[in-house]
Structure 1
Amino acid sequence: MKVSPVHPAILAAILGALLSGFLVALQAPTNAMLARGAGSPVNAALVSFAVGTAALALVAFVLGVRPQAEAVRTLPWYAWMGGLYGAVFVSMAVLVVPRVGVTFFLTVSIAGQLLMALMLDRVGAFGVPRVDISPLRLLGVAFVLVGAFLVRR
């Protein structure tokens, strides 16, 4: 069987996704450590987001990117909620990782992401392409959930 080469842009996207996964795995225990030092999960999340905001501000400055005021004004209210979702994730990681470990927490959170992704794909939410929920896609998510509990054993 002949294997087709992977397009460089697809390979870069896969490597970027893999790198972001590595960083999310690092984020949970380092934020848990930060919570112990900062005195609370809320303080840890606040510091984490402040550092992230500073890093993004620096990148925006270096790249010379600025928000387009008109486009920003026309966004629906829920377009502004991404930071809230991130704050919940970071806070939950800080609270849960010391109790159950990084692997179990991340596996269960990935299962949650996949369940939500199935629903978003199904309805084409937020402009993403519509993708039906198939038995194989459900089985894939079920395997992740089973994997989470196998990791915990």
Structure 2
Amino acid sequence: MSNWTALLIPVAAGSLMAVQGVLNTLLNKNLGLWPATLLVHLLGLAGVGAVLIFTGTGFPTWGKISTVPWYAYLGGFINVAIIATVVLGISRLGAISATTAIIVGQVSTAALLDYLGLAGLTPKQPHWTHLAGLLLLVIGARLLLQK
């Protein structure tokens, strides 16, 4: 896979996240925050179940569950918080402002995770171009958030 193709995959993920946030906000307006969040997770469970069944991937070997670090299981709980906070942000700020703030938080946290080597990542030395990019991201976010 080329670097450009590999880069398009997370770009697609970012696009899908923006659409998902708007759709989840629509569910929130009609059902309420927690019922909408529950419905999103039930639909996600059905979707993942279908992928496992139709791809023949199968379910994990349950014996491996005890070998996973305890903090790896926090992702499911964090996902609930992500959906709720994205919905609240978009419903109060609009899609562009909320998504801009989300991206700044996401990239800043990702930089810390990378630089500190947390959660099993190999630590990376910050390069001046990374720091300059983070600064430009914050400046760009400030411009997008101006009224």
Q: What is the TM-score normalised by the length of structure 2?
A: 0.89
The residue correspondences of 1:112-127 to structure 2 (distance < 5 A) are 112-127=105-120
* Amino acid corresponding to residue 34 of structure 2 in structure 1: V
Residues 1:106 and 2:99 are matched in the alignment:
yes
Paired position in structure 2 for 1:149:
142
1:9, CA displacement in angstroms? 4.2
The residue correspondences of 1:4-153 to structure 2 (distance < 5 A) are 8-38=1-31, 40-65=32-57, 66-153=59-146
RMSD: 1.6
* Amino acid corresponding to residue 44 of structure 1 in structure 2: A
1:83, CA displacement in angstroms? 1.5
| Aligned counterparts of 1:139 and 1:11: Cα–Cα separation in 2 | 22
| Aligned counterparts of 2:73 and 2:89: Cα–Cα separation in 1 | 26
1:8-42 deviations in Å (ceiling 9; x for gaps): 3433322221211111010111111100111x211
1:123, CA displacement in angstroms? 2.2
- In the alignment, structure 2 segments of 5+ residues that lack a partner are none
1:111-139 deviations in Å (ceiling 9; x for gaps): 11111112111222222222112343222
Question: In structure 2, the residue corresponding to 1:22 is in which secondary structure?
Answer: helix
| Aligned counterparts of 2:4 and 2:133: Cα–Cα separation in 1 | 22
- In the alignment, structure 1 segments of 5+ residues that lack a partner are 1-7
Q: What is the TM-score normalised by the length of structure 1?
A: 0.86
Percentage of matched positions with identical amino acids: 28
